[in-house]
A and B are shown apart, each in its own frame.
Chain A
Amino acid sequence: MAAAVRLALIVLLLLGPGGWGHAEPSRDSLREELVITPLPSGDVAATFQFRTRWDSELHREEVSHYRLFPKALGQLISKYSLQELHLSFTQGFWRTRYWGPPFLQAPSGAELWVWFQDTVTDVDKSWKELSNVLSGIFCASLNFIDSTNTVIPTASFKPLGLANGTDHYFLRYAVLPREVVCTENLTPWKKLLPCSSKAGLSVLLKADRLFHTSYHSQAVHIRPVCRNARCTSISWELRQTLSVVFDAFVTGQGKKDWSLFRMFSRTLTEPCPLAAESRVYVDITSSKQDNETLEVNPPPLTTYQDVILGTQKTYAVYDLLDTAVINNSRNLNLQLKWKRPPENGYIHYQPAQDRLQPHLLEMLIQLPANSVTKVSIQFERALLKWTEYTPDPNHGFYVSPSVLSALVPSIVASKPVDWEESPLFNTLFPGSDSSSYFVRLYTEPLLVNLPTPDFSMPYNVICLTCTVVAVCYGSFYNLLTRTFHIEEPSKGGLAKRLANLIRRARGIPPL
């Protein structure tokens, strides 16, 4: 009895002055999402997005209570009167040709662009202070942003959020391409998330896997958005995005089988308790193309179809807040397997061995219709031994022509030929199929100009060496081995005496 009274009293005490506890609705909400996209080149892209929406006008009221929205960024918005902030750190380059269009691309290095409110008087001073503060928050060298690398775009970079005026005087844009992204930038980025890296999708964010990628981009976007459909008041939206592309050969060991564990070395166990939505989307658009089927394990409960970036796409949806998704094993490890028909193509390559055998490359390809297929091989030109050159090396060396053997579908069905009855020109190739005919074509031979040495050089070298040896060594040898004797001039030989006779006859002095 007394205990019940005491309990009632305690409950009353809690509810009385504590009525404010659940009368005020929570003003911010978190949505987290992960999109896994198998790319045409065999790699897989993963895009995380964490969106915190805060229904508050930061400029009008004094804010002292931060719940999900990080205080570090909320104070930035009010202190520097920001309208929008976009900051990204990227390592690598998004290869659109191989991977398709990205959701949101960012330049390599660090990029910061900011729209200030029109109440700011000295935009340049605020810009400089803001970049210093951000360099402290994100452990990056953003303090190197100054007037030498800041521009004011006049046509591009319109605000991505609500804006009542777009005077480009309040926009600043800077890029630091030399900026390195590493764990020290990821750590503060993760600490801004409401669930940090403890629950929800952020448990997958392990640095040693995220940086072993072809492309890594993490970004912070702050902008005002409409609070409701009538759009009469604003909310502040903070989006933290992280895109990575896992390389098929580096991470996947050449196979196109992907799973959350292989990508992140973690699996999902529970959604973030603070999140209103926590979903994983897997792109299964190309699941029925190219004779390959993409199998996603565990099978999705729902799918989502929409036109994304101009094409119709289908996504398999896994809602972590749905208890059926995380099953009895208490973890979710999505697996993507490609099942392709076994005969796809054949490649045989036998590399050359010097002075033994040539290169041999054989490929069996299925050419898609109405297309151009190019096959190219790179080679390097090397020097041969000087005896291996032909007498006319400047002519070049020939590479044998390539052979193309093809089964061409014929427009008209042909009937099987009788070899003895039909003319000779129809019985060159044995035709087995009536719907296609066999043809063998050849390309031109290739004439390659190899680097040619100067063949007169051996002769030149021999001459020069011999001359030098003869002159130098010979002189030394002579000096060292010859002895000099003084010689008496002889009285005169026969020729001298005859010459003196003739000179006397002429009357000139003798020799």
Chain B
Amino acid sequence: MAANSFRSRALTALAGLLALSFGSLADSRIEDQAEQFFRSGHTNNWAVLVCTSRFWFNYRHVANTLSVYRSVKRLGIPDSHIVLMLADDMACNARNPKPATVFSHKNMELNVYGDDVEVDYRSYEVTVENFLRVLTGRVPPGTPRSKRLLSDDRSNILIYMTGHGGNGFLKFQDSEEITNIELADAFEQMWQKRRYNELLFIIDTCQGASMYERFYSPNIMALASSQVGEDSLSHQPDPAIGVHLMDRYTFYVLEFLEEINPASQTNMNDLFQVCPKSLCVSTPGHRTDLFQRDPKNVLITDFFGSVRKVEITTETISLQPDLGIMESSNKEDQIDEERMEPLKYAEQLPVAQIIHQKPKLKDWHPPGGFILGLWALIIMVFFKTYGIKHMKFIF
């Protein structure tokens, strides 16, 4: 009896222990899921990549932008969510010894231009106005979708800019510049319009850190390739192409990103360590005080990759045939049988018709106010001078 009760007590204790352990396991799983839920608060990713320099000797800026484009596409952001702005065409430039290529490593190892590239704003379209319109969403009506930044309040946006800059400004195409105050105000407009959830701003120019000094909107993290007073230097020239291929900071960022895959758990602190002063000569800087999460909890793929929440279902859906199309096609054949006269092609050069055509009269517009007023004045003066009796000759 005592043994039985002892055994039953042991069993209940064991059962209780097992239940506890199961409960804790389930709790930890729920906790994991909850933490994951809090870790990434965004549902879609966008990228705006801008190269602001023109001319062949600024090849490296285009290569910078294209290498970030390549990484971002590789990690999952589709072309429809990338706005790529390149101020000049290097790939098909007459000076490029290998057309349709833009290389980032010397000896032509890596072609960052690739075969599947879609440039949304190119050549003269890359202006400060267009850039700010893209960011704030105030684009002219009729702008195609691929040129718009259709982000919402759950979008994580990556903004990468490169070119020639100075203390507080970035030069666009050697003809205009954008200041850090304008950029900060644009980001504030984006925040007010709830156009982003979190924003990562990377800039690779000389004195790049000055561009993020004035930000004041929440949830912005910024990286720059050099501090105020320092120049960002270029990496290595290629003797066959004849120009410098990449800037140092973006070169090491590209090498860092090549190690990332869509499932990697690398966080932002590793990105801050990319390119120390020994490699970059300039001191890269970063700014995280406006960002709510801790950078060590922010994954690289939160900004460079794309979140796709896929739900697998085992339901089947059967498609119904659209009988409407079949009937209309039958009707159409009958209608075609009844059309009487056959159609014909137009004559390409009907000389007789061209020679004898009358030149199109310009649309007649009634005379405008000024002409009417002038004639009224002339007529009034005439009648005042010569008397009203002349009116009878008119009427």
Q: Which of A129, A180, A208 contacts B101 (CB 8 A)?
A: A208
- Is B344 in contact with A207, judged by CB distance below 8 angstroms? no
By size class, the interface of chain B is: 35 or more
Contact A136:B344 (CB < 8 A) given known A24-B329, A65-B325, A232-B339:
no
Given A61-B328, A188-B118, check contact A129 B92 (CB 8 Å).
no
Q: Which of A128, A158, A231 contacts B342 (CB 8 A)?
A: A231
| Contact partners of B30 in chain A: CB under 8 A | none
Q: A136-B147, A144-B124, A232-B336 are in contact. Are A24 and B326 (CB under 8 A)?
A: yes
**A181-B344 in contact (CB<8A):** no
Question: What total of chain A residues lie within 8 Å of the partner, measured CB to CB?
Answer: 57
Within 8 A of B (CB), among A126-142: 128-129, 132-133, 135-137, 139-141
Flag if B124 contacts A208 (CB, 8 Å).
Answer: no
Residues of B near A144 (CB, < 8 A) are 124-125
| Contact (Cβ within 8 A) B342 A187 | no
Q: Decide: A166 and B346 in contact? CB cutoff 8 A.
A: yes
Question: With A24-B326, A183-B100, A233-B336 as given contacts, are A17 and B321 in contact (CB-CB < 8 Å)?
Answer: yes
CB distance from B109 to the nearest CB of A (A): 15
Q: Is A212 part of the binding interface, using a Cβ–Cβ cutoff of 8 Å?
A: yes
CA of A133 to CA of B142, assembled, Å: 7
Known: A20-B321, A144-B124, A233-B336. Is A164-B343 also a contact (CB below 8 A)? Answer: yes
Contact A231 B144 (CB under 8 A): no
When distances are taken between beta carbons in the complex, the residues of chain B under 8 Å from A212 are 98-100
**Inter-chain contacts of B343 with A (CB < 8 A):** 162, 164, 226, 231-232, 234
In the assembled complex, B89 has its CB within 8 A of some CB on chain A: yes
Asked whether B332 is an interface residue with its Cβ less than 8 Å from the other chain, the reply is yes
Asked if B348 contacts A158 (CB within 8 A), the reply is yes
* Contact, CB under 8 Å: B92 / A181: yes
Known: A24-B329, A233-B339. A64 touches B92 (CB 8 A): no
Q: Which residues of A have CB within 8 Å of B120? A: 136, 139
B92–A57 contact, CB under 8 A?
no
Task: Please tell me if the beta carbons of B346 and A158 are within 8 angstroms of each other in the complex.
Answer: yes
Asked whether any CB of chain B lies closer than 8 Å to the CB of A155, the reply is yes
Q: How far is the CA of A70 from the CA of B20 in the complex (A)?
A: 61
Chain A interface SS verdict (over half): loop
Flag if B142 contacts A129 (CB, 8 Å): yes
Instruction: Assess whether B146 is interfacial by the CB under 8 Å rule.
Output: yes
Known contacts A17-B321, A141-B122, A144-B124; A230/B332 CB under 8 A: no
What's the minimum C-beta distance from B377 to chain A, rounded to whole angstroms?
Answer: 34
Tell yes or no: A60 within 8 A of B by CB.
yes
1/0 contact string of A217-257 vs chain B (CB within 8 Å):
00000000010001111100000000000000000000000
B91 within 8 A of A: yes
User: What is the bound-complex CA distance between A211 and B111, given in angstroms?
Assistant: 15
Q: A182-B92, A231-B344 are known contacts. Are A207 and B100 too (CB-CB below 8 A)?
A: yes
Interface centre among A23, A24, A139, A230 (most CB of B within 10 A): A139
Closest Cβ–Cβ distance, residue A242 to chain B (whole Å): 14
Within 8 A of B (CB), among A146-169: 154-156, 158-164, 166, 168-169
CB < 8 Å neighbour of A187 from B117, B329, B347, B350: B117
Q: Are B100 and A154 touching (Cβ within 8 A)?
A: no
Decide yes or no whether B119 CB sits under 8 A from chain A: yes
> Nearest chain-A residue to B86 (Cβ)?
A184
Interface residue? B43 (CB, 8 A): no
Q: Tell whether B266 is near chain A: CB-to-CB under 8 Å.
A: no
Tell me, in angstroms, the Cα distance from A404 to B143 when the chains sit together. 68
Residues of A within 8 A of B (CB): 17-18, 20, 23-24, 27, 57, 60-61, 64-65, 91, 128-129, 132-133, 135-137, 139-141, 143-144, 154-156, 158-164, 166, 168-169, 178, 180-184, 187-188, 206-208, 210-212, 226, 230-234
Knowing that A20-B323, A158-B349, A159-B346 touch, tell me 10 more A-B residue pairs with CB under 8 angstroms.
A64-B322, A136-B144, A154-B357, A158-B350, A163-B346, A180-B122, A183-B100, A184-B122, A187-B116, A208-B100
Chain B residues proximal to chain A, CB less than 8 Å: 89, 91-92, 98-101, 111, 113-120, 122-125, 142-147, 320-323, 325-326, 328-329, 332, 336-337, 339, 342-350, 354, 357, 359-360
A selection of 21 A-B contacts at a CB cut-off of 8 Å is A24-B325, A57-B332, A61-B328, A65-B325, A136-B145, A139-B122, A141-B123, A143-B125, A143-B142, A155-B354, A159-B346, A160-B348, A166-B346, A178-B124, A182-B89, A183-B91, A208-B99, A226-B342, A226-B343, A231-B343, A232-B343
The 4 closest A-B pairs by CB, nearest first: A136-B144, A182-B92, A211-B100, A211-B99
